[in-house]
Amino acid sequence: MDSNNQARDSSHFDPALKSSSRKSITSSHSRGSDRISVREVAFNHSGSTPVRYGSKGADSEVFSVSQKEISDEDARLIYIHDPVRTNERFEFAGNSIRTAKYSILTFLPRNLFEQFHRVAYIYFLVIAILNQLPQLAVFGRGVSVLPLAFVLLVTAVKDAFEDWRRHRSDKVENSRLASVLVGDQFEQKKWKDIRVGEIVKIHANETIPCDIVLLSTSDPTGVAYVQTINLDGESNLKTRYAKQETLAKLPETERTNGLIKCEKPNRNIYGFQANMEVDQKRLSLGSSNIVLRGCELKNTKWALGVAVYCGSETKAMLNSSGAPSKRSRLETRMNYEIIILSFFLVALCTVTSVCAAVWLKRHKDELDLLPYYRKLNFQDGKSYKYYGWGLEIVFTFLMSVIVFQVMIPISLYISMELVRVGQAYFMIGDNRMYDEASNSRFQCRALNINEDLGQIKYVFSDKTGTLTENKMEFQCASIWGVDYSIANESQEDEQVEYSVEVDGAVLRPKMKVKVSPKLLQLSRSRLENEGGKRIHDFFLALAACNTIVPLHVDTSDPKVKLIDYQGESPDEQALAYAAAAYGYTLIERTSGHIIIDMQGERQRFNVLGLHEFDSDRKRMSVILGYPDNSVKLFVKGADTSMLSVMDKSSNMDIIHATERHLHSYSSLGLRTLVIGMRELNTSEFEQWHQSFETASTALMGRAALLRKVASNIENNLCILGASAIEDKLQKGVPESIESLRTAGIQVWVLTGDKQETAISIGYSSKLLTSDMTQIIINSNNRESCRRSLQDALVMSQKLMAATGVANGTETSYTPKIPIALIIDGTSLVYVLDSELEEQLFQLASKCSVVLCCRVAPLQKAGIVALVKNRTSDMTLAIGDGANDVSMIQMADVGVGISGQEGRQAVMASDFAMGQFRFLVPLLLVHGHWNYQRLGYMILYNFYRNAVLVLVLFWYVLFTAFTLTTAINEWSSMLYSIIYTSLPTIVVGILDKDLSKRTLINYPQLYGAGQRHEAYNKKLFWLTMIDTLWQSIVIFFGALFAYWGSTIDVASIGDLWTLAVVIVVNIHLAMDVIRWNWITHVSIWGSIVATFIAVMVIDAIPTFPGYWAIFHSLGTGSFWLCLLGIIITALLPRFMVKYIHQYYFPDDIQISREAEKVGASRMVGGEDIEMHPIPVGPPR
């Protein structure tokens, strides 16, 4: 998750604020001499145009609601400690939750309704219904229903098991106990019995059972610390407050009465708008006064609250929807072939019915006497099952549909689901995607798009927490114009373990920090000169200007405790630990004061005001009251917002020096913050206090008023300095990006960090290289943005043209000098959702790398949509935080990183893992395997079923088009279920065309999926031609072999059945690359099982063809004919495979041969020449 420096989790408070690029930046920056900048368009501006992409309705609900009074129609009234009256007028939801989809009564109809959303299922249902009609009963009525019933049953059992687990989880959750005020004392109640309006008491480490407004806590100032790990996955503590007016009212001794008027239930977990009437006073309530269901109470003995939202109306339940449903690109393309097969099926049925019509016309006078076509019933002289020429044609057409129904493979759908489950099992079990640091394995949250991992062309990546560790480490400080960079000092940096003594116990910070010896000595000396005072104020600001909660953790030594700084962002934690290392240790924090140990001297400061960070101001501030009654304001924030509010009347040399240091830090890839302060006189403080009270109690536009108050006080600051924090690259990131780019995947990085920081990370991650031509676009209005894009397009075309001449071709899309596009979020404001989108896409498609800086969450989704809507290439987005969710959901494949920023990204993703480097085995190995296997499996299923249908069709042509079948009806039904299904599934799960090592060593092999080599129209038609040949050989080979003999229909039908099954299974065996015992058992076992099934069917006296197979097996001609059919049917395929592999091999076949020759000699020692990967315009 990225954001601007300190303000990492602006989304935690106002998730849909306007663009972080509203107020922007930049001055023209110099580039290093090693970086070639073709064009750099940089402007200073302070435009206020919001992000346009997705901005409609994107304002946070806390803002939109706060702009107006809550009307009675839009509000719910809650009478405190009076649930009967509360629920008298309004029927509020109980606290029982239900995540299960079905009940005993609704399971069957609802599950069937959901399953029949697949059109193919409706098709087979119609077929089964038609077969129930006497005129159309080709197969037995029970047999015709069997395939569809089997598929429906398997899916229903799976759905029932999953829902049973949900029911069991719901029961456990609803039966948990909580303390609820009943009368004048607290009693234990099950969670499901809690009602809106009841007062609930929560003890330390207990989970909140419903959304409650805090009334009182064990802390005298009304503060409560909660952990939201069950809600959003974040383990850091957050502060919530009870109103002072309700603190003293303990329900056991004094009845609490009042009325809460709040907004209706909504999904905004970061906003809450309400007011409360207590003792004739009207108090405003906000997000800091409500604790949501699923949070845990920490570091607080107890808390009291009134239930405002229960059960399904709680914010947690309203946000409990899973990842968005996505459909596999391969399955979408498969629909085209299914439509073709449907037309082919109609064509077969039409040919059959037309031929039947012609035959009936020609033989209309012979119908009464033909031995195999009974029209006349000799007993009563009436027609026998003959409905006239017209109806016979119609019935023949419908009967043809029934007989040839398997042309549309119903078993394919269930096979694909089983194969995907098997593939997911092996992906989850891959130890190379196991993260030891977080003890997390790979998660497959969307089973239906496994194969899409093998076709990715674009990867959109967040930076902080995705490419970097998101574990911040304090590195540099610029104080009063002096750079105290650790790296610049000749002495080796040291890690200082500073400790303080409190109440006989020694307190030590949990984390050690590298310090500058020079700065450490200066901070300890407490010089009285100007520089010494600024150093003191600088570290005091780092220790005080935050929302850190210091927790005292016991150790093995009872006299020593560790201080664990819990904060809402890793930046704050790093700065607090840095301040402690230099002797400014935050020991205690309440809502009213903080205690800081400064070089062994404990001092208490009153917290008179706190303005939390928001993405409009890009800064936060705290007002401290000193023991001598002086009042000082400390502010920290992004340089772009801080430098504009500094006092420019003096100390300009200090400001310029700090700016130079900031640029130096950013160039090293460090995250920077600027620190400032000023002393408030009595009138200024009183004016601020009055404005703050008015804004915080306002019932309309409260959030906007608070921002205005903060902006008014945060000006004319005296600059103290700047801090720099390092967010190190994750292990293996440079190598991973290089592998992905070698595989033909374009990597775009979308970050909220400033441009210099992003570029530095780009170089260290090998995303940017020194030989790249950088095109930088920083525009402050639409017209300048248009000109910049046009100039950049002209420049890129000149480079492409020059490269084309150098390469001897005008169509080359692989420039000799790669181009890198760097664009900021302010420019994107004018590009996205405008006519400039197309120009940006044309420019980006010519670039090897795209780096977007200072982008807001909605802009990230807009950039993904820019590519996704203009190309058929597959997109993947990967991120770790809440502001990456929109990007993850927009992309074809979304990957969440289980990192430091909670689980919002994981919960919205299709796949989740612990490190960015795992993307390489996920895509290059598992993605490649999944795509190759499933692509082959789909074509094989089409072929397998079409062979049987064509054999049946050829037979119809020789039996007066009467739709009789030589193949037993049970064999026809079992063909796709038992005879040939298992080998397909096993090969789809286990077969590997190449080893892991080869796929990792040669990323170019991934291009096979991008070029759709495993599944395309050409392969489909070649497969159909092969199918036609094999069906002709199978049918006519047996027919001519027994022509003129007295063999009965059942015997030759058994021969055709066995021939089809053996041919299609050997066909599959010819394509298997990696054999193992499971593959052997499934393929050869299916052939044996077919023999056994045919013998069992023919051994049943009531079935036609009784004992036929046993007569046939005893003759040599049967075995000779079967062997001849198999060889003749498969010989052309064998010859084509041989010629193709040995004279026209592709990359995969070359690599496979290299593996066969020997890994040590070929794969490990020599390069395999791969086909070039074109980087051109989208298809």
Q: Which residues are catalytic?
A: 462
CA dist., res. 788 & res. 793, Å (int): 9
**For 217, what's the count of Cα atoms within 13 Å in the CB-facing half-sphere?**
28
User: Residue 180 — φ and ψ, nearest 5°?
Assistant: -125, 140
Q: Which residues contact 577 (CB under 8 A, 6 or more apart)?
A: 474, 509, 510, 511, 513, 565
> The dihedral of CA 530, 532, 533, 537: what is its sign?
positive
Enumerate the β-bridge partners of residue 506.
501, 560
β-strand pairing of 468-479 with 482-483: antiparallel
Dump the DSSP string for 44-73: -----PPP-TT-TT-S-HHHHHHTSPPPGG
Radius of gyration of the chain (CA): 37
Q: Which of 775, 779, 769 is nearest to 796 (CA)?
A: 775
The residue type at 657 = A
Distances (CA, A) of 606 to 161, 589, 626, 677: 57, 10, 7, 16
CA dist., res. 300 & res. 226, Å (int): 9
Distances (CA, A) of 679 to 305, 545, 577, 604, 784: 39, 15, 25, 18, 41
1107 conformational bin, left if phi > 0, alpha if psi -120 to 50, beta if neither: left
Q: Which residues contact 367 (CB under 8 A, 6 or more apart)?
A: 360, 373, 375, 376, 386
Enumerate the β-bridge partners of residue 277.
259, 282
Distances (CA, A) of 173 to 170, 177, 191: 5, 9, 8
> The dihedral of CA 121, 124, 130, 134: what is its sign?
negative
CA dist., res. 996 & res. 989, Å (int): 15
Residue whose entry in the numeric block shows the structure tokens 């039904």: 973
* Beta strand extents in 921-1009 (DSSP E only): none
What tokens were used for 780?
């402050």
Number of Cβ within 10 Å of residue 794's Cβ equals 11
Q: Which of 607, 509, 600 is nearest to 552 (CA)?
A: 509
Enumerate the β-bridge partners of residue 501.
506
Q: Which of 1002, 993, 1122, 992 is nearest to 1052 (CA)?
A: 1122
1008 conformational bin, left if phi > 0, alpha if psi -120 to 50, beta if neither: alpha
Q: Which of 1112, 1114, 1095, 1111 is nearest to 1103 (CA)?
A: 1095
User: Residue 308 — φ and ψ, nearest 5°?
Assistant: -110, -35
CA dist., res. 492 & res. 716, Å (int): 38
What tokens were used for 1155?
């593996």
For residues 103 and 936, is the Cβ–Cβ distance under 8 A?
no
Q: Which of 829, 746, 706 is nearest to 1010 (CA)?
A: 746
What tokens were used for 218?
């064990």
For residues 876 and 458, is the Cβ–Cβ distance under 8 A?
yes
